Amino acid sequence: MPSPYRAETTEAIQHARQHAVGDLLRRTALRHPDRLAVVAGQRRITYREFDAAVNRCAHRLAERGLGKGDRLALLSHNGWEYAVLVFATAKLGVVLVPVNFMLGADEIAFILDHAGVSGLVAEEPLLDTAAAALERAGRTGVLRARIGGDRAGWEDVADWIDSPGDASAPDVLVADDDPVRLMYTSGTESRPKGVLLSSRSLITQYVSCAIDGGMSADDVEVHALPLYHCAQLDCFFSVDVYLGATSVILPGPDPAALLETVARERATKLFAPPTVWISLLRHPAFDETDLSSLRKGYYGASAMPVEVLRELARRLPDVQLWNFYGQTEMSPLATILRPHEQLPKAGSAGRAALNVETRIVDDEGRELPPGEIGEIVHRSPHATLGYYEDEEKTAAAFDGGWFHSGDLGVLDEAGYLSVVDRKKDMIKTGGENVASREVEEALYLLEGVAEVAVFGVSHPRWIEAVTAAVVPREEGTLTEEAVLAHARERLAGFKCPKYVVFVPALPKNPSGKIVKRTLREAHAGLARE
């Protein structure tokens, strides 16, 4: 209903009730001004200092013409500047567009063009790729800024953050459902989709993470997985800021650096996909490193192999484990498998998180009973506002008033979810999503390819390895090397096949659809060959 008050009264009420992502840092800084907030390289920043740096950066962005609703892309590895820009944009209501730094110029150009960005911040080693992407996207007149280095035409983000300036909070009214984040996900389509997230989506998700994930203000967490990914950014880093915990930011998940950092900082908490946990267990320094401070471990992106769970329990007996399952459109948490459930329910994605309802439905949207396989759907304030500039996909995703995940699963009588397949053949490799169709379309451009199907096979390191089954136009006209070289020219490295198999024909059902399950079964042992 419309407000019964005068406009100025209504606005005053809205300001007083504001609870957006940008407000979280300010409130934490008021509660814990001298607590260590961020450790990044040589920087050790308190919450008071963190909030002031964010405010200075926000004012600089506003001076350069960025305001509420504008989109700013960020192409960078983890670092101090990344942390600042996440909250500086949120305080202005500027929509942050984190970009996967492993993408090529063409892939980035699509995102920049589709998002209609008003600016791009890029890390120095990625400036050539960033410049090429801007050129190809036709967005040459936008704000350009760099993290590190010295490049003409690119402003230095350090000047925005460290130079003396206004450190007061920006006076911008950001409503609960104003978009503050635009996350591009490969999804299951040939082109990525822009997932719009609001403060309401994110903050209700932070609450679910904190309560169901056993998180607290006295945590010291190492953040080594990419912050462009919603799991590290919004299940962990932003939650730590909300609670007032300490975040130790690493540029990447190098096992030696991770082990050394946990020991040096007396870290209590660590998130990593199974591939990284496995790399830590296999590192020669693991048993010699003092990991006695570690109390909480989290994994996601795929199920942890049961033998690895047992090994973690044996070698890190004081660490409790949680499995987080979800997707970008859920901000991203949907279900959680808790510490006492790890071995009894190994392989399960757990039960619906605090602010989530989850059910299994058939193709008509009817709820299925326990034990029957169907599509996983959710109802939750975590859910996205929709896909940016895509009414058709948004309508399909929210058909029937539930968010449709695109994953197939089954619930047991106690409500535990098992993800049994990906409805549209998503491959999750090393914690990254790869759309099989995108890889297939790239390989179809190679002369000599008659048909191709891309799927994932089990792999001891990557959990799933991208695999291409290729039907050549003429026998002996293609080589594995030629297929891989072609893929590397057109796709980011993590999307390129790890294996290429040549087959005389692809398995198909009576309607002509390729049966990828048959391919996965036939080539399941590739990683052991």
Q: Report the alpha-carbon distance of residue 24 to residue 22 in Å, rounded.
A: 6
Strand partners, 337: 323
In one-letter notation, the amino acid at residue 441 is: E
**Nearest alpha carbon to residue 125 among 148, 100, 155:** 148
Q: Report the alpha-carbon distance of residue 26 to residue 48 in Å, rounded.
A: 8
How would you write the pLDDT of the chain (529 residues) with one tens digit per residue? 777 899 999 999 999 999 999 999 999 999 999 999 999 999 999 999 999 999 999 999 999 999 999 999 999 999 999 999 999 999 999 999 999 998 999 999 999 999 999 999 999 999 999 999 999 999 989 999 999 999 999 999 999 999 999 999 999 999 999 999 999 986 434 578 999 999 999 999 999 999 999 999 999 999 999 999 999 999 999 999 999 999 999 999 999 999 999 999 999 999 998 878 988 998 999 999 999 999 999 998 767 878 889 999 999 999 999 999 999 999 999 999 999 999 999 889 999 999 999 999 998 999 999 999 899 999 999 999 999 999 999 999 999 999 999 888 999 999 999 987 666 667 888 888 787 778 887 898 898 888 888 999 989 888 899 999 998 988 777 999 999 999 999 999 999 999 999 999 888 754 455 778 889 999 998 987 6
**Nearest alpha carbon to residue 499 among 474, 520, 527:** 527
Can you list the domains of the chain with their CATH numbers? 12-405 (3.40.50.12780), 426-528 (3.30.300.30)
CB 249 within 8 A of CB 404: no
Checking phi first, is residue 153 left (phi over 0); if not, alpha (psi -120 to 50) or beta?
A: left
Q: In what order do the strands lie in the sheet with 449-459?
A: 449-459, 463-472, 499-502
**E-state strands within 331-394:** 333-337, 351-352, 357-361, 374-379, 386-387
Q: Which residue is it, tokens 């719009």?
A: 196
**Nearest alpha carbon to residue 378 among 329, 431, 434, 336:** 329
Instruction: Provide the Cα torsion 323, 328, 330, 336; round to 10°.
Output: 0
**Nearest alpha carbon to residue 398 among 419, 417, 379:** 379
CB 254 within 8 A of CB 281: no
CB 429 within 8 A of CB 462: yes
Q: Report the alpha-carbon distance of residue 192 to residue 114 in Å, rounded.
A: 10
* Pairing mode of beta strands 351-352, 374-379: unpaired
- Give the three-class secondary structure for 421: strand
Secondary structure letter of residue 508 according to DSSP: B
Q: Report the alpha-carbon distance of residue 289 to residue 153 in Å, rounded.
A: 45
Q: Give the pLDDT confidence score for residue 515 in this predicted structure.
A: 79
Q: How many C-beta atoms lie closer than 10 Å to residue 504's C-beta?
A: 7
